[in-house]
Amino acid sequence: MIGEIKINPPVATYHNFTTLSDLRRINFIFGANGTGKTTVSRVIAQVGGYSHCELVWSGNAPLEVMVYNRDFIDRNFNQESPLQGVFTLGENQVEAEREIARLQPEIEKIEGKINSLNLQLNGEDGQSGKRKELRDLEPELRDRCWKQKQLHDDTFREAFAGVRNKAESFKQKVLQEATSNKFELLLLDELKERASTVFSEDLEKVPVLPTLMAGTLVETESHELLQKAIIGNQDIDIAALIDRLGNSDWVKQGLKYHEQTPETCPFCQQPTDELFSESLKSFFSEAYDHDIQALTTLQTQYRRECEQLVAVIQRITEENNPFLNTELFDAEAEALSERLKRNCALLENKLCSP
């Protein structure tokens, strides 16, 4: 239970620090109006503005606090009902009723607007107003749509298919297109020109031009191996001489002849020993051979891609597509073909002189 109540000023009528001690399980506090009885109950409830006052619990064991005072009545009882003797009980219900009362003027204002709009919509007798105006305009709209259909029926016969024989259906189709069609609006003459093509009985299907793919060619042309000087093993004693003369490609070609006659130098025709043969073979290392093989693969792949691209271009030219500027296309194709031939020649030269 509560053992002591400490009231720290300034609180209501308490201007000095006040302590209620020596409390029992049941305590009776009495006094004239305005002497602070309700304040004590608010301190016990620890409501806002009183939480700085202190409750000391016996055995330091706080219990659930339930306070019935004027604040409780204000929160939980609503006696504002127009019917005497009828009140609302419960804090949530009271708040809800107060919120309803606060919103009532706005509700009435909105209801007034709704009634006004309904009056405009249906009229005072429920048979006039805007709805009647709309019904009266429906035949006029239907007739105007039908006149336009008859005026252009020959040109747009296929486009009007399904709604050509009934004025009401045609009107509904017009209204539907007006709300759902998001395409660009064109002038009538342009529509007629397109319709003459789309609905022509002499249409001829033209194959779609294939997409020219050159990604692999572009990737090959920027390959790092083409920027690299492929040279032999620099740790061999004859490497310095070969590099100084700048003729490693020539030495590589001579190696083939030396393999046929290993006792004779393929360059000066002088006798050679086994050490010379080993040095010559060691100069062209495994890394050298690997790069040469990769370069050969690169060249083969590039030539194959070139042939495929040229074949596609040739097929496009032979199809005589009426939508293709053939003169411009042929000029560009010829320029591209010459560029590809030059690139193939550059790759061939790179392989001969790596």
Decide if 250 contacts 283 (C-beta within 8 A). Answer: no
Lowest-confidence region among 16-30, 198-212, 274-288: 274-288
Residue 143 CB coordination number (10 Å): 12
Asked if the model's pLDDT at residue 95 lies above 80, the reply is no
Judged against a pLDDT cut of 60, whether residue 155 lies above it is answered with yes
For residues 97 and 88, the answer to whether their CB atoms sit within 8 Å is: yes
pLDDT band at 196 (very low <50, low <70, confident <90, very high): confident
Give the tokens for residue 246.
Answer: 């700048």
What pLDDT, on a 0 to 100 scale, did the predictor assign at position 83? 45
Q: Looking at per-residue confidence, does 311 or 82 come out higher?
A: 311
Q: What percent of the chain has pLDDT over 70?
A: 79
Q: What dihedral do alpha carbons 225, 228, 231, 234 form, nearest 10°?
A: -120
Query: Exposure pattern of 277-311 as b/e (b: 16+ CB <10 Å)?
Result: bebbeebbbeebeebbeebeebbeebeebbeebee
Cα 191 → chain centroid: 36
The pTM (predicted TM-score) of the whole model is 0.40
Mean pLDDT, all residues of the chain: 81
Count other C-beta atoms under 10 Å from residue 35's C-beta.
Answer: 14
What pLDDT was estimated at residue 79?
58
End-to-end CA distance of the chain: 101
Give the HSE-up count for residue 346: Cα atoms under 13 Å, Cβ half-sphere.
11
Percentage of the residues of the chain whose pLDDT score is greater than 90: 27
Please check the confidence at residue 2 and state whether its pLDDT lies above 50.
Answer: yes
Residue range 284-313: mean pLDDT, rounded: 86
Strands 54-57 and 2-7: antiparallel
The predicted pLDDT at position 229 comes to 73
86 pLDDT higher than 50: no
